[in-house]
Structure 1
Amino acid sequence: MRCCRCGLDLEPPTGPRTWRPLVDRAPVGLVQSVAICGVNPWEMRWVCTPSGWLRFGVAVPARMQEWAEVGMCPAGVSHPVIDTAVVWCPGA
C-alpha cells in the first residue's frame, strides 16, 4: 500500500466503481456523486451537475470543480474516488 502525506491510500481498491480523475474519464451519467476512497462521503464528496462537479460536505466549503480536481486531498494529491452508492449502499 502506498500512502499519501494525508494518510490516505494512493491506489484504488479493486472494484468496478472506482476512478482516478487524472487518468480516467469522468463517469458522467454513471454516478450521482463520488468520494475519495477511505473518506466518509458526509465529510467530503463531489456531486455531478450540468455545470461540473460540486464539492461539498461537513469538512469543506462548497465549490465547483473540474473532473481533474476531483479527489484532491488537502495535501494537493489526487486520490482515487469511488461511487458513493457503493459506500452508502454496499452491493449497489
Structure 2
Amino acid sequence: MKKNIIAGFLIVMGLSFAHAQNQVSLDTDLQTLIGTHTQKLFTQTLLLTKAAIHINKTISPYQKYTEEMYLEKKEESANNFYNYLQSIVNEIYQ
C-alpha cells in the first residue's frame, strides 16, 4: 500500500509539473480527478504520519523500559556469575 501511495503521488506530481510547464494539456475532468486523487493521497499520508507518531510515542517508553530492564538483568546475571566464581575460588583456598 505504501508503494502505491508513493507511486500515485509521484505520478500526480509529475502530471502537475508538466501541466504547469504547459507541456501537457489536461482537460477539466482529468484535472478534477487528479485534484481529488491528490487530496486523498495527502489525507492518507497525513493519517499514516499521525499513526506513526502515535505508535512511536507509545513504543518509545516501553522500549526504554525494556532496555533498562535488560541491562539490570544483565548486570545482575554478571554479578551472580562473579559471586559463583568467587565462591569456587574461596572453596579452593580454604
With the length of structure 1 as denominator, give the TM-score of the two structures.
0.21
Bigger CA radius of gyration: 2
Q: Relative contact order (C-alpha < 8 Å, sep 6+): which is higher?
A: 1
Structure ranking higher in helix proportion: 2
Structure ranking higher in strand proportion: 1
With the length of structure 2 as denominator, give the TM-score of the two structures.
0.21
